[in-house]
Every structure is written in C-alpha cells, then in structure tokens.
Chains A and B, each alone.
Chain A
C-alpha cells in the first residue's frame, strides 16, 4: 500500500521534473546545433512559473475544463506507467488527454486554433495506430501487456523489434512536435499558423498544456526504455541516442504538409511494423 503511494507520488513529481529538464536540454542542444548559446537549463520552468502568474484570459470556459482533463489524463498515464500497469490502458488514457486538448482548441472560434486542432487530429490519426502496433509487437515477444512482466523479460527487446523501435521514433517525433511533423503547433520559439492548437490557450492554461506535454514526453521516453530494459546503462544510452537523433532531425528537416505526413507515417510505419510482426511470429 505504502509502496503504491510512493510510486504515485514519484510519478506525479518526476513527470514535470524530468519533462522540464528534457525540454531545457532540448533547447540548449538545438541552440548549439545552430551555433547559438541558448537559454539556461531551467528555462522551461521559468516560462511555466511566469505563465502561471499571468492574468487568466479565457476565450471559452470549455478550454479551462479541457486543459485540466488533459493534464489529469497525461499525469494518470505516467502514474500508471510507474505503477507498472497495463500498456494498452496507459495508451488509451493518454489518448483521452490528447483528444481533450483538441476539443479545447475547437471550442474557440479563432481560425488558427481551428486549423491547428484539425491538424492535431490528423497527427493523432497517424501516430495512434503505430503506438498500438508497437505495443502488439511487445506483446507477441513477451506474452504480456503488463509492464511489470515486460520489465522482467530477460533479453533486451531492441534486437527482436528493431523496426518497431523506428516506428516508435515516428510517433515520438510527432508527439514531441518536431520537424517535419510540427504541423499543429510548434515547440519553442517557432511559429506555425500563429501557434496553431495552442493559439487561444494563454497564461496559466498555457502553462498547464506545457506541463501536460512534459508528462507525455516522459511517458513516450518511458516506452523507449522498454526496448532495453535489462540494464540501466543500455537504457540510458538508448534514450540519449534517441533524443539526440530527434533534435538532429528537427534541425535538418523542414516542416511538411499533412498529406505527406499521413502517407509517409502510415506507408513506412505500417510496412515496417508488418515486416517486424511477421518476422516475430514466423521467424521466431
């Protein structure tokens, strides 16, 4: 009982803490790649605290409700991850949160917000099936959706599921709002259709969307750790390499349109997953 409580608290604290640090590192790394110095490591925290104490301006009260559900859902997903719960359950809880953010954006009449919301829906349409396929691959290999069992699997999953890891990379790129998939809204200082999905969230509510985003980043990086769960070193190297590649990709690619995103992510993503799944079931 006490262990559960400790895990819940760990999840709730480490979500924003790790997410914020990762986002700070991301900004510094991006700046260095563009031969700039970049902001301090804790800049994302400064931003969020500042936003929390700004005057609350609400376009539509639904936004307030939606953004709270978004943060609740993404934090519950991370807590469930820490509690070593069921992977499918975690994915669906996270999806509920993501949908609520879109509903909030749709409740405003601003065209930027509307277009951003439509694009976000298309992005979800691209990555959600892939995430489910990744989880299915993990199930076929380990025989369980339960995280506690997957983490106790004796061998690293990456050699068995290399293509599915690439597929997870696609989902991660979309979720982190990185080029070439930063259509609905863009992270950091970039602008796209003003701020797309987040245009009409402001002040404390914008801060909440940011915190929710940190939870999601932690969750997705947690999913990446599943692929090398046998040793801490392997896990660390895998995470660092994946994130470095994400930032590199962000800096060397330009933003594409949603048609390209849908066809590439589905075409390449589904093909890679299928090859990997067939290999697992037939070859193994």
Chain B
C-alpha cells in the first residue's frame, strides 16, 4: 500500500498540469509565462502542460492583482479544480499588489483570496524563476496527496 501511494505521488510530480489565470496583470508576467512554452524553455520536458480548463488542472498559476470584480472568478476557478491542487502567485503584483498596490480598486495580492503555496517574485519574473516556482509547488502537491490518502 505504502509503495502504491509513493509511486502515485511520484506520478503526480511528473505530470503537473497548469492553469494560467491573468488576474489583471499588465501582461508582462503573462508573456514570461507563455515564454516557458517556447522551445527555449520547453516546460513539456517536465510533463507540464498548459491546460485551459480548471477541471483538468493541478496547479493554478496566477499573475496580477486581485480586484473586487475578478476575485470571484479567481475563487471560482480554484473551486473547480479537483484536488490535490497548488496555487502559485507570479510577479510582484500577485505577491502584494506591486506597483498597483495603492490603487483604489486593488484588493491586494492573490493570498487575500486563495491560500498561496509558492510565491515567485519579480517584475516580471524570468521564465527560469517561474519554472523553479512550479517545481517547488510539486513538493506541495506530493505532501497534499499523502495527507489526503492518510
């Protein structure tokens, strides 16, 4: 039994499917995220697929700040993802609101709405940093998987 659990968890770490949500970012972060898909970075090497569907996703990658309009969409997307799942906040905006922090319509970082597992700082972060962030989220996924089955 223990062995099966371990190997299932290994599979989990080998096939994290990403859902990317642009939560009102300036598009700087989004361009860097999409750059990870290009042949230069080739995230499919790690089994990572950028899916467009919360039903299929394991990791939610959010860029940009939360505002009162999109916070509902954000929590909705998170609720539609089957567990175990992890959330990554990308960019200064996703972490704290960044340069938009003081704006009247900005609620703040992603962690105001969702439990964030990994923070990737930068404005925008390099694609390498984003890939690092996803890899760090895998440990979280494994841990969640073990806790669920226990």
Interface of A toward B, CB cutoff 8 Å: 27, 31, 34-40, 43, 45-47, 49-50, 53-57, 188-189, 191, 194-195, 199-203, 206
Residues on B with beta carbons closer than 8 Å to the beta carbon of A43: 14-15, 47
5 contacts between A and B (CB under 8 A): A35-B39, A39-B47, A46-B47, A199-B53, A206-B56
Residues on A with beta carbons closer than 8 Å to the beta carbon of B140: none
A191: contacting residue among B12, B52, B58, CB under 8 A = B52
In the complex, A36 Cα to B45 Cα: how many Å? 8
Residues on B with beta carbons closer than 8 Å to the beta carbon of A189: 37, 44, 49-51
In the complex, A1 Cα to B86 Cα: how many Å? 51
Within 8 A of A (CB), among B31-76: 37, 39, 42, 44-47, 49-53, 55-56, 58
B42 with A37: CB separation less than 8 A: yes
In the complex, A200 Cα to B80 Cα: how many Å? 11
In the complex, A46 Cα to B52 Cα: how many Å? 20
Asked, given contacts A47-B15, A57-B82, whether A27 binds B56 with beta carbons under 8 Å apart, the answer is no
Interface of B toward A, CB cutoff 8 Å: 7-8, 11-12, 14-15, 37, 39, 42, 44-47, 49-53, 55-56, 58, 80, 82-84, 145
Given A54-B82, A195-B51, A195-B53, 19 more contacts at CB 8 Å?
A: A27-B44, A31-B44, A35-B39, A38-B45, A39-B44, A39-B45, A40-B14, A46-B11, A46-B14, A46-B47, A53-B11, A55-B84, A195-B52, A199-B53, A199-B55, A200-B55, A202-B56, A203-B82, A206-B55
In the complex, A53 Cα to B7 Cα: how many Å? 11
Most B CB atoms within 10 A — which of A34, A39, A199? A39
Asked, given contacts A194-B53, A195-B56, whether A40 binds B47 with beta carbons under 8 Å apart, the answer is yes
Q: B36 to nearest A CB, angstroms?
A: 12
Residue in B closest to A188 when the chains form the complex, CB atoms: B49
Residue in B closest to A52 when the chains form the complex, CB atoms: B8
B82: contacting residue among A40, A55, A200, CB under 8 A = A55
Asked, given contacts A56-B82, A203-B82, A206-B56, whether A31 binds B49 with beta carbons under 8 Å apart, the answer is no
Residues on A with beta carbons closer than 8 Å to the beta carbon of B55: 57, 199-203, 206
Residues on B with beta carbons closer than 8 Å to the beta carbon of A195: 51-53, 56
B83: contacting residue among A50, A54, A194, A200, CB under 8 A = A54
